[in-house]
A = this chain, B = another copy of it.
Amino acid sequence: MYTESLVKLGKVRSEIREIFEYGNQRKAQIGADKVFDFSIGNPSVPAPQSVDDAIIDLVEHFDSVALHGYTSAQGDAAVRNAIAEYTNQRFHTTLTGNHIYMTCGAAASLTIVLNAVLQKDDECIVFTPYFPEYGVFMERTGAKLVEVQSEQGTFQIDFQNLDAAVNEKTKAVIINSPNNPSGVVYTEEKLKQLAAFLEDKQKAYGHPIFLITDEPYRELVYDDTKVPYMICLYDNTFVCYSYSKALSLPGERIGYIAVSPKMTQFEDAYAAVCGSGRALGYVCASSMYQRVIEKCIADTSDISIYKRNRDLLYQALTEMGYECVYPDGAFYLFVRTFGQDAHVFCEKAKEYELLLVPADSFGTPGYVRVSYCVQTKQIEDALPAFRALAENYR
């Protein structure tokens, strides 16, 4: 009667949301400051003042009919040009507004690209740990998601595993660096190796293999970490960018797709993106938020707060004996569980009022995700609980 696969998707309870709801109940029982919720990946730092200023300026001074009116489906031309120019300055690319397609955030960017390039029985490779919604975003294509295990411990790309997984059906590869949930940033060396590997495979199979980069965390990197821009390294790249984390606007749904100027049959690629957006019901990204982006193009929220949280949490947990992946970016700490079963570990953690997310659904059993996009005080207050949890396993 209803589309069965979609009914099923709609009924799956999100594990993260269930933990979050448990946390809210528990806070009501024992007090908010006694529960240490590290489950949700919602930015805890407010949008920069420039975003508020831009909104108010637009509402007060921009013609209302134009401000809130339709833009073209690919987005306002001035906004797209501004993004292209800014990207060219940062990464020495040769983008124009005609390579950019504005979207309702990274989820929309990914779904539009996946529908544009994947057909029934194609395969799309993802590296563990990976955001489980990738499988959902390709549901309408009939293609198959193929997991490739990353290098143990570092969670960089394991090329032996990748080589074993690629075959003539491989149509696309998704990378997510900085990574949710591990915080790992791929090194330039590894990414160059990936580009060379995919070039070889394209030749071997005689068709393009598209690289899709999921980049909501690009700006959230610490110290002098560099996040290479894949359009510079590999021609068949679609960049799926979002301002959700960079500007703390996850609920406003604003981002874009950058289609590499050197993409195979570029015109068809860009047309497929436009057609995909139409077929998925996207008319345009929010016309007002497009213009907010234009005004705030080089801004970010105060990332230093996440860095402070990372340093505090990483240092404290490793000192307590936790095995943590060192996160160069994003706002997650990826922690090996004591004992094999992450669900058992997370239940035990609840006894200490610590709410953590088992990473099984990310394709990496034996790990938990600790979101440090929280108030720094919550981390400080939670340290004795983390210590007690570790001691419980001694």
Contacts and interface: CB of A to CB of B under 8 A. Distances in A.
Interface in A1-58: 1-3, 5-11, 17, 42-47, 52, 55-56
Contact of A275 (B5, B17, B70): B5
B6 A282 contact: no
- What is the oligomeric copy number? 2
Contacts of A251: 67-71, 284, 286-288
A281 B285 CA distance: 13
A388 interface: no
| A11, A52, A250, A279 — most chain B CB neighbours (10 Å) | A279
A83 interface: no
A133 interface: yes
A269 interface: yes
A42 B67 CA distance: 12
A164 interface: no
Interface string A264-306: 1100111111111011111111111100000000000000000
B107 A283 contact: yes
Interface string A106-141: 011111100111110000000000000100110111
Nearest to A64: B46
A253 interface: yes
Contacts of A204: none
B278 A280 contact: no
A170 interface: no
Given A64-B47, A115-B3, A248-B68, A281 B10 contact: no
Contact of A252 (B10, B45, B286): B286
A10 B274 contact: yes
Q: 6 closest pairs, A vs B, by CB?
A: A251-B287, A111-B281, A9-B275, A10-B271, A10-B275, A6-B275
Interface of A: 1-3, 5-11, 17, 42-47, 52, 55-56, 59-60, 63-65, 67-72, 104-105, 107-112, 115-119, 133, 136-137, 139-141, 207-208, 248-253, 264-265, 268-276, 278-289
